[in-house]
Amino acid sequence: MSSEISRTENRLTLRPTSRGKIVGRSEPLQHLFGSVDRVARANCTVLVTGESGTGKETVVAALHDASARRDAPLVTLNCGAIPEALLESELFGHAKGAFTGAHAARQGRVAAAEGGTLFLDEIGELPLGLQVKLLRLLQQKEYSMVGDSRTLRCNVRIVAATNRDLEAEVRAGRFREDLYYRLNVVHLHIPPLRERPEDVRALLLHFFRSFRDELGRDDLEGFSPEATRLLESYPWPGNVRELENLVERCMLLTIGPEIGENDLPESIRTGAARAGGPESERQVLPALGIDLRAAVEEFESSLIRQALARTNGNKNRAAQLLGLNRTTLVEMVKRKKIAC
């Protein structure tokens, strides 16, 4: 089995980047590789979209690594991970005394990325007030530090990423239309894993090999054929990140020598069973009957787990996916004791 893993691994398409490897041989992924190489030669702004867990950061790294800016920094700012009050300072820097606690001047991410690439992740979370200032940066290559009226020039390439539908955000008035068009000069979309199931086996083998060395599990031979087929039929709402976490979990807990179907979490087996096979087969009433309330509860729990995985634990967005109020979702999560 180990020799089979090595042979298969050698046939994989691996795109190394400074932020990890992109793995897969599917046609959509190969098309994406080609687009990255063509766009990398230009200095235009790029918008990368895709569901949570699809690997947007590695695609941005591939874009930077293939560009003429590769020897300069690739600097990341997650617009959804920093409090709004601090976000402007993180982006543009601040002068000494600009606000309470600003005991010294501090450069922002724009200055840190000088000559290179500034990656604005979760751009859909950027407040409207800052969107105006980002537009100025894009149009004029100018900005000002917080608490400083001087105008600074910069030479950075802006790449933004989001798992939101920015066109819908524009229609809702939460995102500026002019900024959207300025960001969306070139659009690179990463397809979700469920749309390229032929990459699942490659990813399983890649992560298995990585974790085998990291965890010291030389006693494990790989995933059994039955487990592999089941994982290929699972819809992967959390995409590549979910698959990577699954491989690590299985390799930590499995006795071995193979990771079999029974070593997979119940939620994975249930999700794969629902996804594989005709609708009529999945809804047949068992001959001995069924506990309807328990079945409905399990179905609800599965959908909630998928929504939370797809939104990386963001309860507001998960509630939107499920058509629920946030408070209702929070109550259901507590009642069902679902880990977030």
Cα atoms found within 13 Å of the Cα of residue 131, Cβ hemisphere only: 20
Domain that holds residue 68: 41-191
Question: Residue 65, Cβ neighbours under 10 Å: how many?
Answer: 18
Whether 25 maps to a domain, the answer reads no
Do 176 and 301 lie in one domain? The reply is no
- Output phi, psi for 47, to 5 deg: -110, 120
pTM of the model as a whole:
0.76
Total domain count, the chain: 2
Distance of CA 15 to CAs 25, 63, 256, 305, Å?
10, 11, 30, 31
Q: Is 121 helix (H, G, I), strand (E, B) or coil?
A: strand
One digit per residue, the tens of pLDDT, for the chain of length 340 reads: 443 444 444 556 788 899 889 998 888 899 999 999 999 999 999 999 999 999 999 999 999 999 999 999 999 999 999 988 899 999 999 888 778 777 888 899 999 999 999 999 999 999 999 999 999 999 999 999 988 889 999 999 999 999 888 999 999 999 999 999 999 999 999 999 998 999 999 999 999 999 999 999 999 999 999 999 999 999 999 999 999 999 999 999 999 899 999 999 888 888 887 775 444 344 556 666 777 877 788 888 888 988 888 877 888 888 888 888 888 888 889 888 887 6
Domain endpoint, select from 191, 221, 236: 191
The reply to whether 338 falls in a domain is yes
Domain limit, last residue, from 155, 176, 191 = 191
- Here the CATH number for the domain that contains residue 304 is 1.10.10.60
